[in-house]
Structure 1
Amino acid sequence: MPARVFRPYDIRGLVDSEMTDEFMQLLGRAVATESLERGTGSMLVGRDYRPSSEHLTAALIIGLRSSGCNVIDLGQVPTPVLYFASQLAGNISGAVVTASHHPIEYNGLKLVFAGQSATPLTIAKLRQRLQHGQFTSGDGSYHEQSVLTDYLDEIEQNIRLTRPLKIVVDGGFATPALVAPLLYQALGCEVIALRCDLNDAQAGVLIPNPAKIDSLQLLADQVLANGADLGLGFGGDGDRLGVIDSSGQMITTDRVLMVLATHLLSQLPGSDVLFDVKCSSRLAEIIHHHGGRPVMWKSGHAFLKEKRQELNAPLAGEFNGHIMFADRWNGFDDAFYAGARLLEILTQDSRPSNAVFADFPIGIATPELILPVATGEEQEIMAMVLEAKGRLSGVRVTTIDGLRIDSEQGWGLVRASNTEPALSFRFEADDQVTLNKLQDLFRRLMKVVAPKLTMPF
């Protein structure tokens, strides 16, 4: 049982060597035992389109049932559909076999217990159960069920577009293709479906990542070629959103959140709006300007959902594309619903989408810059970085997740990735000179704690 498969808020590893059928059966037993101890004897199960997902799901179900959990098999569904089903059925538990945006060689498990995504503590408890063989026994039932129509109907009743839009939706040859074209057509959009044929040879093999511009390039090209109002792309399991405006430009999630927060705060003034440490400093300014309370928090969808629930905030989002609405929705990260809310706002403005987003500029900013390191080394390096922060002066230091340094003209961040053995960097500044100075500051800091590393900037 390799320790590295237990991530802060999910379980993920290499197919065949780490994520084996035997391991998935044992994991199913641990998950079922945890669910039963929380008073929930039923488990929703779904899976993505990876070739390995079908047999790994079958193994998981064997384990769940052998520990006495009743299984409701939703089949191939995006993660937000399972989240929706868990709420619809009364906050029961759920498991999705997926590795999100990671390559096809990987697979894993995302979990919901009693209406809440798994936290680091939950994952640690599952690992302990596996290590000690602490499982219940029983003979759980099994049946199949589809909730896709209910999901689509619920969003259709929730969203009102005031004018038709032409949009391109990129299903990525993955489970989002099951939802996106149907949903946005039902809302009244003219939909151009891109990579939505799940009989294509690339289905389940091409893994989309909406946080990466190269993953969205074909979508951007099709928005321009078709004169579309907007392009929407999705993560491999549908919980992350990517946006292309009418000029073919990628709109980062922090800018999308500016639009969403401005509209939400006009209806719910004074609300908390959460965002992660990788987001632009301009986002906090926009939230404050429109009467909200900006709350910066740790990166990671589970951390944001947990904090959002604690504060009862109506909106939260992460730079990598997770967006959670809780004013008119269930508080989970749902890219399809977030896309629909964005469309609702855009239809209330007669201008093209690129003009709407132009009202919310950011500074000169880098994408997230990833520096791979040896497994476990990322935490050791960050411990030394935090020890060295006392050398800094004349700046605002934030350490809720890594080290973020803010000045009047810009900011920089280094943190340990939650999803891979790597360090993550990001920078934003009012001008190139300030950006260069910030990056020089971080180079000097990293040279002190890890002189052998070559920075990705």
Structure 2
Amino acid sequence: MSTPRHASPAPEIFKAYDIRGIVDTVLTPDAVRAIGHALGSEARARKQAAIAVGRDGRLSGPALATALADGIRAAGVDVIDIGCVPTPLTYFAAHELGCDSCVSVTGSHNPPDYNGLKMVLGGQTLFGDMIRDLRRRIAEDDLANGAGELRTADVRAAYIDRIASDVKLARPMKIVVDCGNGVAGGIAPELFRRLGCEVVELFCDVDGSFPNHHPDPSKPENLQDVIRALRDTDAELGLAFDGDGDRLGVVTKDGEIIYPDRQLMLFAEDVLARVPGGEIIFDVKCTRNLAPWIRARGGKPTMWNTGHALVKAKLKETGAPLAGEMSGHMFFKERWFGFDDGLYSGARLLEILSVRPDANAALKALPNAVSTPELNLKMNEGEPFELVKRLKASAKFDGAQDVITLDGVRVEYADGFGLARPSNTTPVVVLRFEADDAAALARIQSAFRTAIDGLWPGLDLPF
């Protein structure tokens, strides 16, 4: 048996939805070059001739993108380098350039010392076994050979033109845009000005050390600068983006965070007005208020697994016009391409709110409940899956109306729900609670505390 041409990359970087790890510790240029060679080989097996490669603003991006391109080309597949752009623009490039395949070199919302790869081949987002198969190709030296070409392209103008030609605001709006020094800063202010907005920019210079706050709008502490700017200016709405621009955070004029499951209500109402009876997909972390809202507007609500790749696969399978996740990923198939795009979601939100005289009132009128953000129970590698397995098998939740085990354990009560699911990206159990009032929330949390303590004593629970 021949010796493989590449040393096998660390197994822990091959995640459920992408490849991700600490740069120069496990995610080295050599590892990325090997993965590129495997990806190029898989592309050839799928009759894909070229792959668009973009990268976010992380300091390690240029070296890793170069290594990736070298690996892809070694398999005889062409690379189209589209430069430093948000992940949604990399997805857009696959459509715009006609290659149907792309890779974004991005660490998303992970700390600055992380980076990774989000991969699409022939219009299919790679996840699960497809990602594990890249590792197999490297280990078994199942690699194609060739000499692919390298060329460059700039799709930013086409992206902005495409959105501006379709999304129309009924009136000018003044907004705060916080990019957290992530890569969205290179395009978001220009896009929203093109749509007719006056933009108050916060941290829109791209800086991969993230000197101001972490670019993760799902965490309330990262939205405090937006809240202050809305208080101190006459802007009427705040938009915040994550490190690679595929997730959106929204803040009202008076400082209330509108979490993505409530954003999805507005998007669903808007889409269903043009797609009667349409199916709207949402993940298990979303509010109980969402399904009845969709049904009341003639839509078909579908709860699904968390994970951008899994939601995209479900969107493709069902032909649904819209999907969304509690994490902030929104997927518009109606009028767009079906990939998750925080910038485009922001544009669609502004279009909806621009016909309302008071954006603040429109957002605050959305059904709400007493709820927690996502809470993370830190454990050792592998343990979150074991704990949730035990919860499924033996936990008793008295008074529950339903226990949904689609993705983790979601326990539905008449007045709220609790959720525990293992993260597919980090060794944590993700918990979320929602109820009609504070007393019900405390009762549901107590039931989960008792169940978890009974199965795995001594954990430092985050609630």
Could you state the TM-score of these two structures normalised by the residue count of structure 1? 0.97
Task: Return closer, same or farther for 1:305/1:35 CA change in 2, 3 Å cut-off.
Answer: same
Aligned partner of 1:363 in structure 2 is 369
Measure, in 2, the Cα distance between the counterparts of 1:161 and 1:235: 24
Deviation at 1:205, TM superposition (A): 8.6
> Structure 2: which amino acid aligns with 1:437?
R
Moved more, 16-25 or 126-135: 126-135
Tell me whether 1:433 sits opposite 2:432 in the alignment: no
Alignment of 1:193-232 (within 5 A): 193-198=201-206, 202=209, 207-232=214-239
Contact 1:91 1:115 in 2 (8 A): no
What SS does the aligned partner of 1:13 have? strand
Deviation at 1:202, TM superposition (A): 4.8
Deviation at 1:144, TM superposition (A): 1.1
Measure, in 2, the Cα distance between the counterparts of 1:119 and 1:334: 18
Contact 2:50 2:99 in 1 (8 A): no
Tell me whether 1:409 sits opposite 2:415 in the alignment: yes
Deviation at 1:3, TM superposition (A): 2.0
Aligned partner of 1:17 in structure 2 is 25
Aligned partner of 1:68 in structure 2 is 76
Contact 2:180 2:212 in 1 (8 A): no
Tell me whether 1:332 sits opposite 2:339 in the alignment: yes
Measure, in 2, the Cα distance between the counterparts of 1:72 and 1:250: 38
Measure, in 2, the Cα distance between the counterparts of 1:208 and 1:117: 24
What SS does the aligned partner of 1:108 have? strand
Alignment of 1:342-357 (within 5 A): 342-351=349-358, 353-357=359-363
Measure, in 1, the Cα distance between the counterparts of 2:212 and 2:439: 42
Deviation at 1:390, TM superposition (A): 6.2
Aligned partner of 1:119 in structure 2 is 127
Contact 2:186 2:205 in 1 (8 A): no
Tell me whether 1:320 sits opposite 2:327 in the alignment: yes
> Structure 1: which amino acid aligns with 2:419?
L
Measure, in 2, the Cα distance between the counterparts of 1:219 and 1:136: 49
Deviation at 1:122, TM superposition (A): 1.3
Measure, in 2, the Cα distance between the counterparts of 1:180 and 1:37: 37
What SS does the aligned partner of 1:45 have? strand
- Candidates 49, 55, 77, aligned match of 2:85: 77
What SS does the aligned partner of 1:281 have? coil
What SS does the aligned partner of 2:314 have? helix
> Structure 1: which amino acid aligns with 2:73?
R
Moved more, 261-270 or 24-33: 261-270
> Structure 1: which amino acid aligns with 2:373?
P
* CA-atom RMSD in angstroms: 1.5
> Structure 2: which amino acid aligns with 1:136?
A
Measure, in 2, the Cα distance between the counterparts of 1:10 and 1:202: 22
Task: Return closer, same or farther for 1:323/1:344 CA change in 2, 3 Å cut-off.
Answer: same
Q: What is the count of residue pairs matched by the alignment?
A: 455
- Candidates 355, 378, 381, aligned match of 2:384: 378
Deviation at 1:163, TM superposition (A): 0.4
Gaps in structure 2 of 5+ consecutive residues: 1-8
After superposition, the C-alpha distances for 1:371-427 in whole angstroms (9 at most, x for unaligned) are 111011111112111111466564211111000001110000000012201001000
Task: Return closer, same or farther for 1:391/1:319 CA change in 2, 3 Å cut-off.
Answer: closer
Tell me whether 1:143 sits opposite 2:151 in the alignment: yes
Tell me whether 1:36 sits opposite 2:68 in the alignment: no
Contact 1:243 1:252 in 2 (8 A): yes
> Structure 2: which amino acid aligns with 1:263?
D
Deviation at 1:193, TM superposition (A): 1.3
Deviation at 1:290, TM superposition (A): 1.0
Aligned partner of 1:423 in structure 2 is 429
> Structure 1: which amino acid aligns with 2:382?
G
After superposition, the C-alpha distances for 1:301-329 in whole angstroms (9 at most, x for unaligned) are 11111111111111100001000100100
Measure, in 2, the Cα distance between the counterparts of 1:365 and 1:44: 41
> Structure 2: which amino acid aligns with 1:3?
P
Q: Percent identity?
A: 42
Deviation at 1:366, TM superposition (A): 0.5
What SS does the aligned partner of 1:64 have? helix
Task: Return closer, same or farther for 1:219/1:394 CA change in 2, 3 Å cut-off.
Answer: closer
Deviation at 1:361, TM superposition (A): 2.6
> Structure 2: which amino acid aligns with 1:376?
G
> Structure 1: which amino acid aligns with 2:107?
A
Tell me whether 1:252 sits opposite 2:259 in the alignment: yes
Moved more, 69-78 or 355-364: 355-364
> Structure 1: which amino acid aligns with 2:161?
D
- Candidates 294, 297, 301, aligned match of 2:301: 294
Measure, in 2, the Cα distance between the counterparts of 1:207 and 1:132: 39
> Structure 1: which amino acid aligns with 2:61?
S
Contact 1:176 1:237 in 2 (8 A): yes
Deviation at 1:246, TM superposition (A): 1.5
Gaps in structure 1 of 5+ consecutive residues: none
Measure, in 2, the Cα distance between the counterparts of 1:78 and 1:225: 29
Deviation at 1:203, TM superposition (A): 5.5
Contact 1:174 1:237 in 2 (8 A): yes
Deviation at 1:36, TM superposition (A): 1.0
Deviation at 1:54, TM superposition (A): 0.9
What SS does the aligned partner of 2:289 have? helix
Measure, in 2, the Cα distance between the counterparts of 1:143 and 1:299: 36
- Candidates 444, 447, 456, aligned match of 2:453: 447
Deviation at 1:89, TM superposition (A): 2.5
Deviation at 1:121, TM superposition (A): 2.3
Contact 2:58 2:208 in 1 (8 A): no
Aligned partner of 2:248 in structure 1 is 241
Could you state the TM-score of these two structures normalised by the residue count of structure 2? 0.96
Aligned partner of 1:97 in structure 2 is 105
Measure, in 1, the Cα distance between the counterparts of 2:81 and 2:310: 27
Runs of 4+ that moved beyond 3 A? 200-207, 389-394
